[in-house]
Amino acid sequence: MKVVRGDVQVQRQDQKLSAQVGDKLYSGDRIVTAADAAAGITLRDDTLMSLGPKTSFVLEDFKFNESSGEGNVAVRVAKGTLRYVSGLIGKHAPDRQQVATPTATIGIRGTDFIVEVGDE
């Protein structure tokens, strides 16, 4: 985690952890921001993700080979707001990035976009 503002929780398996700047995230981690909270995440390939208030986000999968620049990123936004800025994976293989929402899966071709998922 690069930025934590307000009440941000990391749900890892059966644990609920209060997020702190510097925390590492792992595939399968769910990040939940409260109504007055936000979080910033920087992956090892320099992909940047900003989570707005009342967001539920899962880092589904992340793999990155630093020497070749190859890898993949898959995330899921159940609700809330995500701003996504592609890193090295997006530059080398844009088709290896994916953002899923409850109603759609987005194949990323651009480098900077925002996804907003409303409450059901």
pLDDT at 77: 95
Q: How far apart, in Å, are the Cα atoms of 82 and each of 14, 54, 70, 92, 100?
A: 24, 11, 23, 22, 11
> Predicted confidence band at 94 (pLDDT cuts at 50, 70, 90)?
confident
102 versus 30: which is more confidently predicted? 30
What is the pTM for the complete model shown?
0.87
> Predicted confidence band at 107 (pLDDT cuts at 50, 70, 90)?
low
Question: What gap in Å lies between CA 10 and CA 58, rounded to an integer?
Answer: 10
Strand, coil or helix: what is 59? strand
For the cut 90, the answer to whether the pLDDT of residue 75 exceeds it is yes
pLDDT at 108: 60
65 versus 91: which is more confidently predicted? 65
Over residues 52-80, the mean pLDDT reads 94
Over residues 36-48, the mean pLDDT reads 96
